[in-house]
Amino acid sequence: MRLVVDLNRCQGYAQCAFLAPDVFAMHGDEGLLYDPQAEEAQRARLAQAVAACPVQAILVDELDLAAAPSGGAQGSAGSGGTAAAEAPGEAADA
The three-state DSSP-derived secondary structure of the chain is CEEEECCCCCCCCCHHHHHCCCCEEEECCCEEEECCCCCHHHHHHHHHHHHHCCCCCEEEECCCHHHCCCCCCCCCCCCCHHHHHHHHHCCCCC
Q: What is the pLDDT of residue 48?
A: 96
In a domain, 39, yes or no: yes
Written as tens digits, the pLDDT of the chain (94 aa) is 899 999 999 999 999 999 999 999 999 877 899 999 999 999 999 999 999 999 999 999 876 545 545 444 433 333 333 333 333 444 444 4
Total domains in the fold of the chain: 1
CATH number at residue 58: 3.30.70.20
Q: What is the pLDDT of residue 63?
A: 63
Q: What is the pLDDT of residue 47?
A: 94
In a domain, 29, yes or no: yes
In a domain, 94, yes or no: no
Parent domain of 33: 2-89
In a domain, 54, yes or no: yes
